[in-house]
Structure 1
Amino acid sequence: MTGAVPGVSTDEDFDPRAIDERWQRVWRDERSWEVSNTAPADKTAYVLEMLPYTSGEPHVGHLKNYAVGDAVAHFMRRQGYYVLHPMGYDAFGLPAENHAIRTGKHPRTSTDESIASFREQFKQWGISIDWTREISTHSPEYYRWTQWIFLQLFKAGLAYRKQAAVNWCPKDATVLANEQVVNGRCERCGSLVEQRQLEQWFFRITQYAERLLNDLDGLDWPTHVKLMQQNWIGRSEGSTIRFPAGGTDIEVFTTRPDTVFGATYLVLAPEHPLVDKIVPNAWPSGVDSQWTAGAATPAEAVAAYRTATGLKSELDRQESKDKTGVFTGGYATNPVNGEQIPVFIADYVLMGYGTGAIMAVPGQDQRDWDFAAAFGLPIIRTVETSEGFDGEAYTAEGPAINSGFLNGMGVAEAKKTIIAWLEQQDHGKATVQYKLRDWLLSRQRYWGCPIPVVYCDSCGLVPVPENQLPVRLPDIEDYTPKGKSPLAAAADWVATRCPHCDGPARRETDTMDTFVDSSWYYLRYCDPKNEQAPLGIDAAQRWMPINQYIGGIEHAILHLLYSRFLCKALADLGHLPVQEPFGALFTQGMITRNGAKMSKSKGNVVSPRTIIEKYGADTARCYVLFMGPPDAGADWSDTGVEGVYRFLRRLLRFTTQVATSELATIGGAADPELDLALRRKVAWAVKKVTDDMSGRFAFNTAIAALMELTNECSKALQEGIDRDTVKFALSTAASLLLPFAPHMASECYYMLTGEHVWKQPWPEPDEALLRTETVQLACQVNGKVRGRISVPQDASEDAIREAALQLEEVEQAVGDRSVKRVVVVPGRLVNIVVG
């Protein structure tokens, strides 16, 4: 017997928690998962799961995320890589602060308690983490560098402050970024979002729009995630056109400049700064009362409409089918034909998109058509329509009509011609436009990273010097939201000295969006003890970009886009050697219960702690990977958990039987054919699991293959097998099991070999055994196995069907019933469906 440890021999003695604790103690004492920044650069790999919000306890969604990442980390280590696999906590922001409000505790207290719970359970799950690199975004040692990054962007003109229309959540009493508004509601609490005008801090992410778009091509990301980012960035090609109006120019952007002859009115966003410049003191004579909304003057009509618009969210404004608006009283000149056209304001035009102004061509745009029909405005078609087409806008292509020198041209030629004319006449130019807007990062909440600037009456806005970082977040008793930052009430903290003139100054009281914290945390893991910089260039070159990033699809826009921007900005400023943070991305699916998303209010939450206490960590880890393709959603099943538990228990029972046996043959007399068949099954399992782990992450089918191999071992033990053969099969199964069930894999492998499985190279299949002349297929009739056939490995499906139908046991099972169809599953089985 080779170095066996005391094991279990009966199902009744099976104690998975004892096995978990034993191997966790070994890994802790050995410091198995720690890596050094001196590891050979050509053999390093960085595997990372998105860091969790720390509010409450981890749930099975966290378990799945980290089970996926840990499987990848184990697999890469066994292939000879030094794997960086760290852990941290997204500890600032609304989730943590709202959790503190619910529990009645100070955010620092509740956050630290939550972190302790997360840390305890991650260790209980046996996740192979390098705990020497642990970080938390709420620690001054971390947010010192968040503030430092802000200052670098500020000095480069990439961080700025301006007054803007912002999304305001009345319940959370804070500003939200556009990405945090879903269907017009706050993504956190579901409240309807309002629009407010406030002085806010922004990052100039729009400056990177083209690069953020183009560089997606080089990333190994799911296609649908790339598409989500492409749509959010929203690149459009067209031109800007200037329409003279009341001593100024109204500039519009359009993707269809070829339709400009059909522009019969302009529409400005109600917030547009030019509105006040073009509004006259009185209505022009003969104005339709519908255009004025019954107001005595244009200024009154505009003011009333602006008030009404301020009560609507951007989504409401975009999706409303009712076209509302008022005439400003002003007119603009269409530069291509000199026509005077009225200028309206309407809430379906948004200041944040394009120029905040549109030329309305109702003949070619249904939204403009509906507005024109409601207000009795002219409709001029500029594209020849199909025969019989009438009563709505024509959005298809065709020859230009009613368009002067463009008449008869196709759309592409007309666009090229009109842009050249606009540029020649100084009325416009070719333009590329993006839907993406700058990242609004100010938050009127307490629990966040302080923005490192002060306001001085003499010097104005002054950045805090780097040697005075961090600007620490003070402890205050009343941190509940009030519509302005609770930090404003911390008078002793707000009052400070100006770094320039040493005169009295006041600190910025808004805190940063928590997405700032989480847009660079992956860099700090590379060099977490560095006190001179967020990370050293050498560390960044060794580990970045991340080889495999893992997380939920819900972060496809916010977190991933912000992280890419910040990485590029830091690289441009000389602080990073890479332009992209995440080389490869995997998005895991959501776990549901009875078809519904898990939530405490629905009472359908599954606690990993409860599952692990009953079944052990490996059952929980294996099940969340086995329940379906990891990139797809799956419904939780208690029966499924039991099935995985029984599989692990059987594997350990067989291992104990073989490890403690002194016999050369186990079961009946050794059967050479059975011996060879089992060795072939081992080769098949090695190839199957390796293929499933290599990029596809088909963990569910990999685990199914190990279950199949274990079943073959069971048959061999019952029928008679050479002990060394079954020992080889079981130890290989344990070796392949390590990424999914590391405790049980370590236990079984050590019992059989006396070695630590995580130190062994990944198994390689015996190619000679994979090249068999024949394969054995199970033959089913209506899903029930009736016999087996041996066929050439390259046999056609027709030949396989014929052989199956001629099998005596199949003929007897079919009887006088008719064969409906024959289904061949290559390499596995044939199913004859009869009726």
Structure 2
Amino acid sequence: MKEYSPKEIEAKWQKVWQDTDLYKTDEDPSKPKYYALEQFPYPSGEGLHMGHMRVYSIGDVVARFRRMNGYRVLHPMGADAFGLPAENAAINRGVNPREWTLNNMERIRREQALLGVSYDWDRYVGTCLPDYYKFNQWLFLLFYERGLAYRKKASVNWCPSCNTVLANEQVEDGRCWRCDSEVTKKELEQWFLRITDYAERLLEGLDRLPDWPEKVKAMQRNWIGKSEGAHVTFSVPECGDEKVTVFTTRPDTLYGVTYLVLAPEHPLVPRLIKGKKEEEPILRFIEEMKKQSEIERTSTDAEKVGYPTGAFAKHPLTGELVPIWIANYVLMDYGTGAVMGVPAHDERDFQFARKYGLEIKQVIWPQDGDAPAEPLAEAYTEDGILISSGPFDGLDNRAAIKAIADKLQEQGLGGSTVNYRLRDWLISRQRYWGTPIPVIYCDDCGVQPVPKEDLPVVLPEDVVFDGKRNPLTTSETFVHAKCPSCGKQARRETDTMDTFVDSSWYYFRYTDAHNETVPFSPEEVNKWLPVDEYIGGIEHAVLHLLYSRFVTKVLYDAGMVQVDEPFKSLLTQGMVLKDGFKMSKSKGNVVSPLEIIDRFGADTARLFILFAAPPDRDLEWSDTGVEGSHRFLNRVWRLIVQNEELFKQEFTPSASLDAEGKELRRVLHKTIKKVTGEIGERSHFNTAISSIMELVNSLYSYPDTADRAIYKEALETLVLLLAPFVPHIAEEMWQMTGRKGSVHLASWPKYDESALVLDEIEIAVQINGKVRDKLVVSANASRKEVEKQALSTDRIQGWIDGKTVRKVIVVPGKLVNIVAN
């Protein structure tokens, strides 16, 4: 018997697919479209890992299944190729990041091809290539023209070792996520995109994404952080009645304010402490805060630390003076950088006030029952009636929220407003390996965008990678430029863009990957968007997906696309674990996909990773599970090889199948229905494969004397059902059946509901609740017929002999229970 040889088969079919352009995108407009997309990889020096293999295998099943179901499928791939690791490699290895990255991109493409994924490689994009990042710059200029790109001085997380700005999420325990250096705060002129202008639309859009995981939507809602409340303006008499505005969701507690807290970075702080005894300790405290991330400072577990400034603020409605403090938990970049302290009605304020001996003033009283104990043992956060609140005494606190906000509005001291936690998107990075920001600075003309006809602004080669500065600042040819307006000597922006910009629109570029004049043509984009299934890790649930949604809405407003949400359905796959931990070199539990492919073949690797767990759950790696998947493929292979002669024969379907034939037909159509639903509706690939395994068991137990026509049909259908999961062996077996053309262009099998109906069923017969016999009855038998048949069997007659039958209960299709005594 011909042995199953994965290496031989997989190499053979990968070459055939490549030579015949089998997976080139079908453009037939008569077919419904389907856009299947996996998140593209970063081309690191380590190549593919098991997480990659899992996401690509999942996406490939989706694409192949839709193609076989008559869709024109767009299934592209590329590389998210800019980023700090390449620049660090350039510094450490003395190589150019371009060379290092391009080599890695080519390596990953080869490794992806070994998996047998059905990508249209003609649409490949690499974000580090000028023909791609030219349009990063083009889109930046679009944002600039629409007032959505601006420059300002901002306090940023700065890694002195990497010499670059870090996002809050890249600071872990006050240290850089990559090099572990201590992060500091630094004031820099930075470029931002106004994502906050779209905060409400980004929130509203989540309600129109029913096929996104609720967990992901909740994370985005929390990141956007919408709060409805009021602005309240306090004045500071000793600073010439300087105004300090706070945002609060509880204006009903305004009369309970006993102190004000500013962020340590608040611009008013230096004036408040100048020349006072508090100045020196507060300045030291401010320096300490520069080393802590926002996440650390705002953690519920973090100790609340504060210092009095010695200054006072004037209450807007009572005129009372309340002390001004600074504290670690107030952030300059959230809200206004100031909060009002209401310790009687806020748990955090209560703890802070108790710690520092500040006044606690209760202004809400329970509507029914006794008042809280005096002094308060904890903050009173329930609803109630206002007290000690001037003209608002006796008012229900919910009604007082609007009433007090209206009063503030009337007096020009605040009013109702909506606040968002979301901050504008900081895109400036002080590094070389990224998209140059297309801006020129002229002493006479100011900020000048580079004209679109002069794009791309290409990364220069004459740079120094010494790890001490932004390499772009070392390139004389790059820094010196002519002003586009006056033609005088000017200087070019040396910051590059955050790499999240690259990945925020790449799915549009795939639709028109070789367009040299615009990022994409609206006609091509509108043919394919939105992405029907987007597959990737939960770690991108917030930033990448939020930025992609933001960019899509801007392009929608600019009339370039007809969708304002880019991803219709989102599948976030779980991690691959070994010994209970995520695979990592530090834990010594890494299993290489290439090692598994070399030993067992790509089809075995794919089958195991798809069968071992539902795609959204973590998957525990199992060597015995891989071996089991390999044994199963060998079992299927033998089944097809043993019947090669059968496939050469023609059979006339029988008018009436024998019992074995009927049962195999039922199992076959049950399997088709199950696999179709599990792939197409639920993305439960593990249960789909399990159903196919049951069909294989039925085929092995099918008698040689039973109907051959249905047996042959079942074998051919088995190959079709396996094709999305194990494409190489399925292609080889399809040829063995004598079929022409690729199995991956064949039509997906349809199930027949009538085949699922049983002629006869087995039911249990109970006496007084205990099973005493089993009975085979017609599936269409009436209750009376089932009762009569149950009572007439010899076994049951023996059990009820000498007893009186009181009642017979028939549960159709399941059981008969005879009550007798």
1:271 aligns with 2:251: no
Partner of 1:715: 701
Counterparts in 2 of 1:480 and 1:638: CA distance versus 1, 3 Å:
farther
* Residue 345 of structure 1, CA deviation: 1.8
| Equivalent residues in 2 for 1:89-104, closer than 5 Å | 89-101=79-91, 104=94
| Aligned-partner residue type, residue 334 of structure 1 | H
Q: Is the partner of 1:448 in helix, strand or coil?
A: coil
Q: Is the partner of 2:511 in helix, strand or coil?
A: coil
Structure 2: runs of 5 or more not aligned: 766-772, 796-811, 816-821
Counterparts in 2 of 1:504 and 1:44: CA distance versus 1, 3 Å:
same
| Aligned-partner residue type, residue 463 of structure 1 | P
1:310 aligns with 2:310: no
1:186 & 1:791 partners in 2: Cα distance? 71
My pick for the range that moved more, 509-518 or 167-176, is: 167-176
Counterparts in 2 of 1:353 and 1:562: CA distance versus 1, 3 Å:
same
Counterparts in 2 of 1:452 and 1:791: CA distance versus 1, 3 Å:
farther
2:394 & 2:466 partners in 1: Cα distance? 65
Partner of 2:197: 207
1:380 aligns with 2:361: yes
Counterparts in 2 of 1:475 and 1:793: CA distance versus 1, 3 Å:
farther
Residues 163 and 467, structure 2, Cα contact 8 Å, conserved in 1: yes
* Residue 663 of structure 1, CA deviation: 7.9
Partner of 1:433: 419
Q: Is the partner of 2:433 in helix, strand or coil?
A: coil
Residues 608 and 629, structure 2, Cα contact 8 Å, conserved in 1: yes
Partner of 2:396: 410
2:229 & 2:292 partners in 1: Cα distance? 29
Residues 383 and 398, structure 2, Cα contact 8 Å, conserved in 1: no
| Equivalent residues in 2 for 1:598-747, closer than 5 Å | 598-661=583-646, 672-716=658-702, 720-747=705-732
Aligned mate of 1:230, from 221, 230, 246: 221
2:49 & 2:264 partners in 1: Cα distance? 45
Counterparts in 2 of 1:326 and 1:388: CA distance versus 1, 3 Å:
closer
1:553 & 1:794 partners in 2: Cα distance? 50
1:260 aligns with 2:254: yes
Q: Deviations over 1:585-630 (max 9, x none)?
A: 1111111111111112222111111111111111111111001111
| Aligned-partner residue type, residue 246 of structure 2 | V
1:72 aligns with 2:58: no
* Residue 458 of structure 1, CA deviation: 1.7
2:671 & 2:90 partners in 1: Cα distance? 49
* Residue 704 of structure 1, CA deviation: 0.8
* Residue 488 of structure 1, CA deviation: 0.9
| Equivalent residues in 2 for 1:489-508, closer than 5 Å | 489-508=474-493
Residues 443 and 485, structure 1, Cα contact 8 Å, conserved in 2: no
Counterparts in 2 of 1:126 and 1:408: CA distance versus 1, 3 Å:
same
1:159 & 1:788 partners in 2: Cα distance? 76
Q: Is the partner of 1:73 in helix, strand or coil?
A: helix
Partner of 1:4: none
Residues 203 and 438, structure 1, Cα contact 8 Å, conserved in 2: yes
Residues 402 and 416, structure 2, Cα contact 8 Å, conserved in 1: no
| Aligned-partner residue type, residue 45 of structure 1 | Y
* Residue 715 of structure 1, CA deviation: 1.0
Partner of 2:770: none
Q: Is the partner of 1:716 in helix, strand or coil?
A: coil
| Aligned-partner residue type, residue 226 of structure 1 | K
My pick for the range that moved more, 142-151 or 169-178, is: 169-178
Counterparts in 2 of 1:792 and 1:121: CA distance versus 1, 3 Å:
farther
Counterparts in 2 of 1:488 and 1:664: CA distance versus 1, 3 Å:
closer
Q: Deviations over 1:149-183 (max 9, x none)?
A: 11111122211111111122344332112343456
Counterparts in 2 of 1:627 and 1:807: CA distance versus 1, 3 Å:
farther
Aligned mate of 1:330, from 299, 311, 330: 311
Q: Is the partner of 1:20 in helix, strand or coil?
A: helix
1:487 aligns with 2:472: yes
* Residue 190 of structure 1, CA deviation: 5.1
TM-score of the two chains, using structure 2 as the length reference = 0.89
Q: Is the partner of 1:218 in helix, strand or coil?
A: coil
1:27 aligns with 2:17: yes
Residues 333 and 423, structure 2, Cα contact 8 Å, conserved in 1: yes
Aligned mate of 1:16, from 6, 15, 21: 6
Q: Percent identity between the aligned chains? A: 48
| Aligned-partner residue type, residue 259 of structure 2 | Y
Partner of 2:230: 239
1:363 aligns with 2:344: yes
Residues 689 and 736, structure 1, Cα contact 8 Å, conserved in 2: yes
Counterparts in 2 of 1:664 and 1:47: CA distance versus 1, 3 Å:
closer
1:646 & 1:397 partners in 2: Cα distance? 65
Counterparts in 2 of 1:282 and 1:789: CA distance versus 1, 3 Å:
farther
| Equivalent residues in 2 for 1:179-190, closer than 5 Å | 179-182=169-172, 184-189=174-179
* Residue 506 of structure 1, CA deviation: 1.4
My pick for the range that moved more, 345-354 or 393-402, is: 393-402
Q: Is the partner of 2:234 in helix, strand or coil?
A: strand
Structure 1: runs of 5 or more not aligned: 1-8, 284-294, 780-786, 810-825, 830-835
* Root-mean-square deviation over aligned CA pairs: 2.9
1:159 & 1:416 partners in 2: Cα distance? 35
Counterparts in 2 of 1:29 and 1:370: CA distance versus 1, 3 Å:
same
Partner of 1:445: 431
Counterparts in 2 of 1:146 and 1:664: CA distance versus 1, 3 Å:
closer
Q: Is the partner of 1:727 in helix, strand or coil?
A: helix
* Residue 447 of structure 1, CA deviation: 1.1
Partner of 2:28: 39
Counterparts in 2 of 1:173 and 1:721: CA distance versus 1, 3 Å:
farther
